[in-house]
Structure 1
C-alpha cells in the first residue's frame, strides 16, 4: 500500500513539474500579442486575394532569402482559394527559381528552372548551412508556421474562442512579432547578436533582426507601405500556406450544419408521427 502511495505522489509531483516548467522557463515575460481584423476570420470568412498577392510579394522579396516554403508548390499559387495568380503568372514565378533534379543519364544531379509541379526550393541545402549563415539560429520554414506558432489563450478565453470561431492566433502572433521590435526597458542588456522583441514567445530576445521597414517593398495598388501592413499581408499569406483549403472547409462545415438541423427536424416530426396514437 505504501508503495502505491509513493508512486501516486511521484506521479503527481512529475505532473506538477511538467505544468510549471514552461512558466519557469519563460520567467515573468508575457508576450504582447495584439488582435487584428482578418478577412478570413469567422465561419464565413474568406481570403483577400489582393492581400495574399501582396503577402507573397513580401515573402519573395524580403523573407525567402532565409525562410523556406517547402510544402507549397508553384501550381498552388494559381489554384482556387489561393492568391489567384493566373497559370501564366504562376509559370513565370516558377521559372525565376532553380531546383535540383536528376540523376541524369550519367548519374549526376543538375539544376533546372522550376515548373508548376515543383515546390518552392529551400534557401539552404541543409539545417547546418542555415544555422551557419544565421549565427547559429535556424530560420523556420513558413509552410505551417501560421498554425504552429500562436500565443495560446488560457482559461476561460479559449472557451469563448470555440463559440466565436477565433482561430487567427497564428497570424495575430506573427504580425505582433514583426511589429514588436522596440527599445528594451531601461537597464536591460540585450545579448550580442540578438534583438529585443516584446511579442516573442520564447523570451524577449530574438536572433532575427528587424526584417521590415517602411517603404522597403513597393505596392502598386495604393495600399499603405508600412511595417504593420507588410506584416499583416505576409501573415495572411502564411495562413493560406498553412491552410490552403480554409474556404472549402468553412463552406463544407456550413452545409453540414444545415443538413444536421434539417435532419434533426425530420427525425423529430417522424417520431411525433409514429407515436401520436400511443398513450404515455
Structure 2
C-alpha cells in the first residue's frame, strides 16, 4: 500500500508539473511577450575601421596610439573620471620619459594634508601618485553631474562585454532618438537631462557627448576627429585595464610551443621504452 500510495503521489506531482509547463508554453504562444525598447533598439558594439592593433593572438599595443589616448583622457575625460588603479609612473610602459611623467603628474592635484594644520589640502602630483578623482567625494561628484556619479575608468574596458569596441561605440554613438522608437514607444522619450545612445544598456545616460572634432590637437599630426579620439582613448583604457596583455600573449605562445615539443618528446620516449614489446 505504501508503494502504491507513493507511486500515485509521484504521478500526481509529475502531472501537475507538466500541466504547469503546458499552461506557461500555451500562454506564451497565444500572447508572446512584447519586446522592450531596450531589446529592440539596443545596438551591438563595433570597433573603429580596421580594428585595434592589440586584437588577436599576436596583437600588440600601439604606443603612439596609447599616448594619444592618454592625451585625450588628460584633456577631456579627467575632468570627470578618475583612474584610481593607475599610477603616473606606470606610464613608462607607454614610452614616456621620467621627465615627461613628472610633468604629467604635476598637472594633477592630488588629495593631501596641510603639514602645519592637518587640514585637508591638495598638492601637485608626483610619479608615485595615482590618477586622482576630480571630486572631493561622491556627494560632490553627484551634485556636479545631475546626481550621476562618473565611474572610475581603470577597469572599464574589462567591466563591459567587448570592452574596447564598447567604449569606442559609446563615445561615437550619440544621436537623436529614432522616429521609429518614439512612434512605437512614445513613453520611452529620453528624459530631460539624459542623452540618447543606443550602445548604452538603458539607451539613455547622464553623460553628454564628451568628444567633438577639433577638441584635442595631436602633436604627431593625426587627424583631430571624434572617431580618432574615441579609438585612441578606448585603446588607452584597454591598456589601463590590462597592462600586461602583451606579456600574457607571449607567455601563452611560449607555453603552446613547449607543450608541442613535450608531446613529441613524450611520444619518442614511449616508442623507445616499449620498442621491444609486441602487441
Given the two structures, how large is their TM-score scaled by the length of structure 2?
0.81
The question of whether the paired residues in 2 share the 8 Å contact of 1:29 and 1:203 is answered with no
Partner of residue 252, structure 2: 253
1:203-260 CA distance string (max 9 Å, x none) = 2211111111101111121211111110000000000000011111111111111111
Partner of residue 31, structure 2: none
How far did 1:32 drift?
3.5
Partner of residue 198, structure 2: 198
The question of whether the paired residues in 2 share the 8 Å contact of 1:104 and 1:110 is answered with no
How far did 1:107 drift?
4.3
Partner of residue 177, structure 1: 170
Secondary structure at 1:71 match in 2: strand
CA gap of 1:107–1:213, structure 2 versus 1, over 3 A, is closer
* Matches of 1:110 and 1:176, distance apart in 2: 38
How big is the alpha-carbon RMSD for the aligned residues of Structure 1 and Structure 2? 2.6
Number of aligned residues: 248
Partner of residue 233, structure 2: 234
- 1:34 matched to 2:46? The reply is yes
The question of whether the paired residues in 1 share the 8 Å contact of 2:38 and 2:203 is answered with no
The question of whether the paired residues in 2 share the 8 Å contact of 1:46 and 1:247 is answered with yes
Structure 2: state its 5+ residue gaps: 1-8, 25-34, 183-188
The question of whether the paired residues in 1 share the 8 Å contact of 2:81 and 2:153 is answered with yes
Bigger proportion of residues as helix: 2
The question of whether the paired residues in 2 share the 8 Å contact of 1:34 and 1:172 is answered with yes
The question of whether the paired residues in 2 share the 8 Å contact of 1:96 and 1:113 is answered with yes
Structure 1: state its 5+ residue gaps: 14-22, 151-168
CA gap of 1:269–1:71, structure 2 versus 1, over 3 A, is same
Highest Rg: 1 or 2? 2
Partner of residue 59, structure 1: 73
Shifted more, 95-104 versus 126-135: the winner is 95-104
CA gap of 1:50–1:143, structure 2 versus 1, over 3 A, is same
1:74-100 CA distance string (max 9 Å, x none) = 00001xxx3211111001111122222
Residue among 86, 108, 115 paired with 2:126: 115
* Matches of 2:105 and 2:36, distance apart in 1: 46
Structure 1 residue runs of 4 or more that deviate by more than 6 Å after TM superposition: 4-7
Given the two structures, how large is their TM-score scaled by the length of structure 1?
0.81
Partner of residue 132, structure 1: 143
